Copies of this chain bind each other. A is one copy, B any other.
Amino acid sequence: MNDTFLKACRGEKVEYTPVWLMRQAGRYMKEYQEVRSTVDFLTLCKTPELAAKVTLQPVDILGVDAAILFSDILIPVEAMGMNLEFHDQKGPVLGEPVRTKAGVDKLIIPDTEDSMSFVLETIKILRRELENKVPLIGFSGAPWTLATYIIEGGSSKNFLNTKKMMYQNPGLFSMLMEKITATIIEYLTAQIKAGAQAVQLFDSWAGILSPFDYEKIIFPYVKKTIKALKKQDVPVIYFVNNCAGLLEIAKKSGADVIGIDWRVDMAKAVKRLGKKVSVQGNLDPCVLFGPREHIEERVQDILGKARTARGHIFNLGHGILPETPVENAIAMVEAVHKFSRI
């Protein structure tokens, strides 16, 4: 088994730097588009055979060192009781935003076996089909990120409704965060028990917070989630998008790996994160639209800067973009493997 990824998560010695790409199963790949043309996005997430199929595509085509479950960070939000739709232009749209006590009360803490068994089924298929070729990563949105979707009812520009609740009604906001946190813990524990060999918490909207609010209001729920997950014996990755102002806080999350976006210098991030966590990242996804020589230069720059980290998993700083040329994603993976070998 290629366990380079798991070793790097734990800070163990590796022969080369492992690499995977956030959203590596996706629209930029014609093999994915073929599957997707037969079903809508949410049906794809909920059909284990198809979800497993697209999960496996980048493992073969790109040669990455980990597979990540094909799903969406909002799947548990739907299971909590909100209507979920995906619109091609607007992205996710959730029914009736939750902004009152009655709204929070109505949300349930779902049982994964009951309402999200398709995810567990997908994981089981994947573990069989992967035959231990590479490890399988499970994932969920982090508590704060899911809270923003629940309160805004979708994505947002200023996240004003979410912050309003945070400032105007901190008690209600905590109630909501508690429910979300319990949901995520149950959901990811079930994923691990079904076979996920690592889990990633996506805090896609962490970076819209001041460090003040992040530390006092949000971070306790991150720590609570990760502490519970660490009862299972798999690495936890905490991806903090737009992390440059938050690293000294995030490093205390209890996660094995901090995933970072591209807007922070890798050398500075490694220094600020210290020697107790590994780091994952952080190439700007847009670099994959440039020439191959430039991609290689940037890969080498990041590899060099991450050399003193406890462990490094190469990744993009955000999800791969839909229009990315596949050959450039392959070039990136090859460059990581080539230039990181001792």
Binding site for B on A (CB under 8 A): 158-160, 163-164, 167-168, 207-213, 242, 244-245, 248, 262-265, 268, 284-287, 289-291, 294, 298, 301, 317, 321, 323
A164: nearest residue on chain B (CB-CB)?
A: B289
- From B159, B211, B262, B298, A286 is in contact (CB under 8 Å) with B159
- From B160, B208, B285, B291, A168 is in contact (CB under 8 Å) with B291
- Contact in complex: B263, A167 (CB < 8 Å): no
Within the assembled complex, what's the spacing in Å between the Cα atoms of A301 and B163? 18
Q: CB-CB < 8 A to A298: which residues of B? A: 212
A289: nearest residue on chain B (CB-CB)?
A: B164
A317: nearest residue on chain B (CB-CB)?
A: B210
Known contacts A244-B264, A264-B245; decide if A301 and B160 are in contact (CB<8 Å). no
Closest chain-B Cβ to A111's Cβ sits at a distance in Å of 35
Known contacts A284-B210, A298-B212; decide if A167 and B265 are in contact (CB<8 Å). no
Within the assembled complex, what's the spacing in Å between the Cα atoms of A301 and B287? 39
Q: CB-CB < 8 A to A294: which residues of B? A: 167
Within the assembled complex, what's the spacing in Å between the Cα atoms of A237 and B167? 31
Q: CB-CB < 8 A to A167: which residues of B? A: 286-287, 289-291, 294
- Contact in complex: A286, B163 (CB < 8 Å): yes
Within the assembled complex, what's the spacing in Å between the Cα atoms of A262 and B245? 9
- Contact in complex: B263, A209 (CB < 8 Å): yes
Within the assembled complex, what's the spacing in Å between the Cα atoms of A286 and B167? 9
- Other than the given A168-B289, A208-B263, 18 more pairs (CB < 8 A) read A159-B286, A163-B284, A163-B286, A164-B290, A167-B286, A167-B290, A167-B291, A209-B284, A210-B284, A211-B263, A211-B264, A211-B268, A242-B242, A242-B244, A244-B263, A245-B263, A245-B268, A248-B268
